[in-house]
Structure 1
Amino acid sequence: MSSSQNALTSETSPYLLQHADNPVQWYPWGEEALQLAHETGKPILLSIGYSACHWCHVMAHESFEHDDPRALMNERFINIKVDREERPDLDKIYQTAHQLLTNRPGGWPLTMFLTHDAQVPFFGGTYFPREPRYGMPSFADILNQVADFYRDNRSDIDKQNTPLLDALEKINTPHLYSSGSNEITIETLDQAYRELKKSIEPEHGGFGRAPKFPHCTSLERLLRHWSATGDNEALESATFTLRKMALGGLFDHLGGGFCRYSVDNQWMIPHFEKMLYDNGPLLSIYSEAWQITHEPLFRRTAEETARWVIREMQSPEGGYFSTLDADSEGHEGIFYVWHPETIKEVLETEQYELFSRHFGLDRKANFEGSWHLHCYADDETLSKEFMLDIDSVRQQLDGARETLFRLREHRVHPGRDEKVLTAWNGLMIKGMAVAGRIFDNSAFIDSAERALNFIRHNLWKDGRLFASHKDGQARLMGYLDDYAFLLDALLELLQVRWSRNDLDFAIALADVLLEHFEDKENGGFFFTADDHEALIQRPKPLGDESTPAGNGIAAYALNRLGQLLGEERYLNAARRTLDAAAPMISEMPHRHNALLLDVESSVYPSQMLVLRGNEEELRSWQQLVARQYSPRRLAFPIPSDETNLPGALAERTLRGDFTAYLCSGNACSSPITAKGALATLKQQLDTPD
């Protein structure tokens, strides 16, 4: 290893490799670094970030590549760099600890200072500037003060750490410390809706003020609340926000896909990084919004997002890559922005005028002297102003966008993090399966199957999942989200194209969840397996974060798989998860939307439809079921030649040419074979709830 390199050079994470040439003596989290801290007595400086993180890059350039901070870091600390996408277990623990220590939310970069022997945090923050500004001291001053305090006040630090560790433990078992019955009823769902409704920003949609994130689980809750109750205000709240996001600068109007968040209330200027974990759920939501409303905007947004993923985020081997960076050529957003003169040169005069009015090129620059595309006039407005029919407007705009997309392709593209993360792939596989089913698009379904095959062949080894794949290596034992999100995706994909191998894979994932992740004493699921590295906490995440809570998706998926197979073990595990989470759900239901999916299943009867017949007959039924948004209905088309099915499915045999089995809640009807009964069932399924 050269003098300019550190211990990160052998890592596969693009984020860690970005720091391999730092003059800081970085180590990855592992035995070597932890043992060195123990031997030297130096506190640990833990820095957590990810490759597409703009402020991570800023702090690296300001502090990790300059002499003053670098010398102090190397002299007084053992420095550990962590990719939060590879080690979400560490990120969850230390983000929670940061919030407990500072009473403020965390973020990235996360900068935490840990004891040398037990890795317990005693001080921390996020971004620290190299020079004093933003009301913060310089990073060098922070380093000196922390090191001096650690040297002189170990007993005080140990006293502080005891209540911190107690608080971390209590987070995992809220039901042991709560008072009251914490009963979950239909009122819990209604309360969640009321809280979400209060937080909706009336002018531009979204939840709260800037910075604005999509909050996919909240949007899904609004759609499901409308489906269950018929409350049109819930539907309007969701579709209003979805329109604003799709028309705003959060969406890439040339290439498809959404950026991570908007820095303003109008959804105009995003933080330009694109994350797979946002776009998978957004693909599902926009597809379902079209299924409800048939608004062309929703279909176009969903289809362009899916095509972007297939084109730019799917590896030749099938797995989906993780992120696109916010920066290119050293500047944030430069890949996406324009100047009117450039666009005038490549569009016809009438086409340019239409495009300019639509995307605000006739207004002042909106991003650092450049124009980032944001819709100011919708298709109907343009039709009236330019005296063109709607179809002509759309054709002109589509042609202009295609021209500019081809021109943009010649620019230097943002960096791409080519890790394949199992959990995030699960979210996108589900999104592709939902979009493929609703739009009857085989390319989307093929994409999902290719990603699933990649995971099965590269990240499923000896009956266990790995979390990350890069450069031909599968690394890090899988976490709760890996199993839960992939199981959820498999149940969606099985409704599109039946595969016995996929069903067996789903059962295997469910069994690992119960064997290695379930808290058999208190209920729920830990984030790490029982044979995972021992850390200061074994998290049990209940609340939604940037992705849905693993406990919520695990309970929801196990409940549905349990109903399909008649498997009580899965149903009981789901029920125990809700019991364990009840105090947190009751206190803030709108922060636990993933868990509310299973709450909804216990309050409103779900519907399970198993169809047996030939391929042509099954396809016609699939098309029928896809017409209607029915989030509590599962429909599994099983070919007539499929035999030796497990559990309750063994009883769902073919009787005659075609057979339908319908269960609602815990009650199942007799097999439906008579043409008259089938016709009645078809009419029922084709009628809105």
Structure 2
Amino acid sequence: MAHESFEDQVTADYLNEHFVSVKVDREERPDVDAVYMEAVQAATGQGGWPMTVFLTPDGEPFYFGTYFPPAPRHGMPSFRQVLEGVRQAWTERRDEVGEIAGKIVRDLAQREISHHSAEAPGEQELAQALLGLTREYDPQRGGFGGAPKFPPSMVLEFLLRHHARTGAEGALQMAQDTCERMARGGIYDQLGGGFARYSVDRDWVVPHFEKMLYDNALLCRVYAHLWRATGSDLARRVALETADFLVRELRTHEGGFASALDADSDDGSGRHVEGAYYVWTPKQLRDALGDEDAGLAAQYFGVTDEGTFEHGQSVLRLPQSEGVFDAEKVASVKGRLLERRVQRPAPGRDDKVVAAWNGLTIAALAETGAYFGRPDLVEAAVGAADLLVRVHLDEQTRLARTSKDGRVGPNAGVLEDYADVAEGFLALASVTGEGVWLDFAGLLLDHVLGRFTDPDSGALYDTASDAERLIRRPQDPTDNATPSGWTAAAGALLSYAAHTGSEVHRSAAERALGVVRTLGPRVPRFIGWGLAVAEALLDGPREVAIVGPALDDPATRALHRTALLGSAPGAVVAVGIAESDEFPLLADRPLVGGEPAAYVCRNFACDAPTTDPERLRTALSS
């Protein structure tokens, strides 16, 4: 619609004469998008983007739809016809329009989630959720449901945690097979690392080529956790390649992470075409590699004369076992193809830094760096965290949603911003042993408790109590492309309570998880992060305190690494000098016989300490 209608001079003139036009960036203002999308879905039974909504001057919607073509098509009116009809209704039947708008707003007000289960989900609800996922699982191709197929990041986290806690092999198998299918498919960039937004087909072959920060942060963490659970070489490779992609292509000059890379780019002839940067023909392989190596590359990456995409072009995949190919030759081919690709016009980058998505990235890079001995990745996570503190936090520790070029944006942070940034800071605290990140997480969660939580029901809202007033205060506990703010907040509250012993935060987390008890058995695909948090709650979560004479002491570092690699769901780790006040978990935790020691606790009640990494590993995997 941007190209067909908004940039058309005649249509633009008509809009400017008769309407006040507002174009909303739903990444900047997810709250505005949420309330009007809810109205569209309630009235039409479906939603989607672009979303077209006509409002009264008070912001109340009275007519809406999604895409309108520039000319009548397939029984659908043109955008110009819609504009003329709305203008006529507003001019001639304004009272009727006002009644419709008022009814829509009243109906939306009744959809508020003020009553949900007061109890967090238990074993029965999680078992029912797993059964529901099993029914929707695609055993031939991995993933859930049909096309288009999105990476089920939050569900994968639940499956890995459920297996870690219960030993359910079916949960691990679904996670493992899905991760392998995605990593071998066209949705994964086989040359440069990183994942595209989704696959248009059920087989993960042809992606929508846009690369989003949040997808790659979530999937980097998933593959790192899969490696932690299985030792899979593929999971290790994909986690590291995705982390390297994040740092190489999305890190900004200020240390934050940009939102996305465009799907389209110049195809070399001046036309912007989706996938132009990523797809190959056999001739392009020959031009880059010569005949012999081009044949190897075509076989290895599944490039055919017919093509798997458009116009005889193919998306690179791994359709065969890599074991049948010479590893050195493959590495040479990949390196030369990547060198040739970087000479193509690159996709545009959205340099907007979104707080929530950077929080997810901080957690992913911190953990991946710690698991694989990559301090550069941990440093990148610290750099992004520093940017959020310097630029996004004001003097009242209120969080701004976005920044660009080091300048803060005008929009207030929403619940997912506070929750995901707190999650990132908590992961950073466990990895670095720097208690300041725990302190910052606590400040953000104070806002969650004070400004986003209903004190009576424990329900959570997506916007703060003092935020700009919309026709309805948005509230959604279900996951979309990222964890919902509601369940992300529950997870951060639970982890903070495990670090500090705060009953207030633990109680708030348990109350928030009541909605997962209701929705988990019914729609598990859409509340995966809530199910993952519930797994942590059922396991404790476990609290691990590592004390030593110094953070760089080898024995202390060995215990710390073992603790971070423990598979207990949602376990938190505090590391520091004995009797340090850096973390509450370290209080009254002395060395044992003068040696570094690990304490594994639940609710601050601890088992006997150990100085042996193997015993610690057993304690965190049982």
TM range (shorter): over 0.9
Residue in structure 2 matching 1:85, options 19, 27, 36: 27
* TM-superposed deviation, 1:110: 1.6
Q: Which residue of 1 aligns with 2:357?
A: 424
Q: Which residue of 2 aligns with 1:465?
A: 399
Q: Does the Cα contact within 8 Å between 1:337 and 1:370 map onto a contact in 2? A: no
* TM-superposed deviation, 1:211: 0.9
SS of 2:547's equivalent in the other structure is: strand
* TM-superposed deviation, 1:450: 0.9
* TM-superposed deviation, 1:74: 1.8
Deviation string 1:501-534 (CA, Å, 9 cap, x unpaired) is 2122112112122222221122132211222111
Q: Distance in 2 between matches of 1:618 and 1:139?
A: 66
Amino acid at match of 1:484: A
Residue in structure 2 matching 1:498, options 413, 418, 433: 433
> Given the two structures, how large is their TM-score scaled by the length of structure 2?
0.92
* TM-superposed deviation, 1:162: 4.1
Q: Distance in 1 between matches of 2:416 and 2:217?
A: 14
SS of 2:465's equivalent in the other structure is: coil
Q: Does the Cα contact within 8 Å between 2:360 and 2:421 map onto a contact in 1? A: yes
Q: Distance in 1 between matches of 2:261 and 2:75?
A: 31
Q: Does the Cα contact within 8 Å between 1:174 and 1:584 map onto a contact in 2? A: no
Deviation string 1:340-372 (CA, Å, 9 cap, x unpaired) is 112112325443222111222234122221423
Between stretches 337-346 and 582-591, larger displacement belongs to 582-591
Amino acid at match of 2:408: A
Q: Which residue of 2 aligns with 1:315?
A: 252
Q: 1:325 to 1:531 in 2, by over 3 A?
A: same
Deviation string 1:417-462 (CA, Å, 9 cap, x unpaired) is 1011111100111111221122221121111111111111111120
Q: Does the Cα contact within 8 Å between 1:189 and 1:596 map onto a contact in 2? A: yes
Q: Does the Cα contact within 8 Å between 2:60 and 2:102 map onto a contact in 1? A: no
Q: Which residue of 2 aligns with 1:175?
A: 115
* TM-superposed deviation, 1:618: 2.2
Q: Which residue of 2 aligns with 1:113?
A: 54
Answering whether residue 366 of structure 2 is matched by residue 433 of structure 1, we say yes
Q: 1:361 to 1:646 in 2, by over 3 A?
A: closer
* TM-superposed deviation, 1:78: 0.9
Amino acid at match of 2:176: T
1:669-684 equivalence runs, <5 A: 669=606, 672=609, 678=612, 681-682=615-616, 684=618
Q: Distance in 1 between matches of 2:106 and 2:523?
A: 22
Q: Which residue of 2 aligns with 1:244?
A: 181
Q: 1:662 to 1:103 in 2, by over 3 A?
A: same
1:269-284 equivalence runs, <5 A: 269-284=206-221
Q: Distance in 2 between matches of 1:497 and 1:634?
A: 13
Between stretches 434-443 and 405-414, larger displacement belongs to 434-443
Amino acid at match of 1:338: W
Residue in structure 2 matching 1:230, options 167, 178, 182: 167
Q: CA RMSD in A?
A: 2.3
Q: Does the Cα contact within 8 Å between 1:249 and 1:372 map onto a contact in 2? A: no
Answering whether residue 459 of structure 2 is matched by residue 524 of structure 1, we say yes
Q: Which residue of 1 aligns with 2:316?
A: 374
1:35-434 equivalence runs, <5 A: 59-104=1-46, 106-116=47-57, 118-133=58-73, 135-175=75-115, 184-329=121-266, 330-375=272-317, 377-380=319-322, 383=324, 393-434=326-367
> Given the two structures, how large is their TM-score scaled by the length of structure 1?
0.84
Q: 1:236 to 1:101 in 2, by over 3 A?
A: same
Q: Which residue of 2 aligns with 1:578?
A: 513
* TM-superposed deviation, 1:206: 1.6
Q: Distance in 1 between matches of 2:613 and 2:289?
A: 53
Q: Distance in 2 between matches of 1:102 and 1:170?
A: 18
Q: Distance in 2 between matches of 1:680 and 1:409?
A: 45
Q: 1:494 to 1:646 in 2, by over 3 A?
A: closer
* TM-superposed deviation, 1:553: 1.1
Q: Distance in 2 between matches of 1:138 and 1:233?
A: 50
Amino acid at match of 1:432: L
Residue in structure 1 matching 2:541, options 606, 616, 619: 606
Q: Distance in 1 between matches of 2:586 and 2:500?
A: 6
Amino acid at match of 1:137: P
* TM-superposed deviation, 1:645: 4.1
Q: Distance in 2 between matches of 1:286 and 1:134?
A: 44
Q: 1:236 to 1:644 in 2, by over 3 A?
A: closer
Q: Does the Cα contact within 8 Å between 2:197 and 2:215 map onto a contact in 1? A: yes
1:530-541 equivalence runs, <5 A: 530-541=465-476
Q: 1:163 to 1:579 in 2, by over 3 A?
A: farther
Q: 1:66 to 1:379 in 2, by over 3 A?
A: same
Deviation string 1:565-604 (CA, Å, 9 cap, x unpaired) is 1112211221222246654446434422222233223433
Q: Does the Cα contact within 8 Å between 1:259 and 1:272 map onto a contact in 2? A: yes
Q: Does the Cα contact within 8 Å between 1:262 and 1:269 map onto a contact in 2? A: yes
Q: Distance in 1 between matches of 2:556 and 2:75?
A: 64
Amino acid at match of 1:464: R
Q: Which residue of 1 aligns with 2:269?
A: none
Between stretches 367-376 and 646-655, larger displacement belongs to 646-655
Q: Does the Cα contact within 8 Å between 2:150 and 2:197 map onto a contact in 1? A: yes
Between stretches 220-229 and 650-659, larger displacement belongs to 650-659
Amino acid at match of 1:97: A
Amino acid at match of 1:200: Y
Q: Which residue of 2 aligns with 1:639?
A: 577
* TM-superposed deviation, 1:174: 4.7
Q: 1:590 to 1:341 in 2, by over 3 A?
A: closer
Q: Which residue of 2 aligns with 1:30?
A: none
Q: 1:336 to 1:139 in 2, by over 3 A?
A: same
Q: Distance in 2 between matches of 1:103 and 1:542?
A: 19
* TM-superposed deviation, 1:262: 1.0
Q: Distance in 2 between matches of 1:295 and 1:648?
A: 32
Q: Which residue of 2 aligns with 1:8?
A: none
* TM-superposed deviation, 1:135: 4.5
Q: 1:627 to 1:604 in 2, by over 3 A?
A: closer
Q: Does the Cα contact within 8 Å between 1:174 and 1:581 map onto a contact in 2? A: no
Q: 1:485 to 1:344 in 2, by over 3 A?
A: same
The percentage of aligned residue pairs carrying the same residue is 36
Q: Which residue of 2 aligns with 1:19?
A: none
* TM-superposed deviation, 1:197: 1.6
Q: Distance in 2 between matches of 1:681 and 1:290?
A: 21
Q: Does the Cα contact within 8 Å between 2:478 and 2:526 map onto a contact in 1? A: yes
Is there any run of 5+ residues in structure 1 with no aligned partner, and where? 1-58
Amino acid at match of 2:111: I
Q: 1:325 to 1:636 in 2, by over 3 A?
A: same
Deviation string 1:191-233 (CA, Å, 9 cap, x unpaired) is 2112222112232222111111112111222222222222222
Q: Distance in 2 between matches of 1:683 and 1:416?
A: 42
Deviation string 1:293-342 (CA, Å, 9 cap, x unpaired) is 22222222111111111111001221001111111122211111222112
Q: Distance in 2 between matches of 1:589 and 1:339?
A: 41
Count of paired positions: 611
Q: Does the Cα contact within 8 Å between 1:661 and 1:668 map onto a contact in 2? A: no
SS of 1:90's equivalent in the other structure is: helix
Q: Distance in 2 between matches of 1:451 and 1:266?
A: 35
Q: Does the Cα contact within 8 Å between 1:211 and 1:261 map onto a contact in 2? A: yes
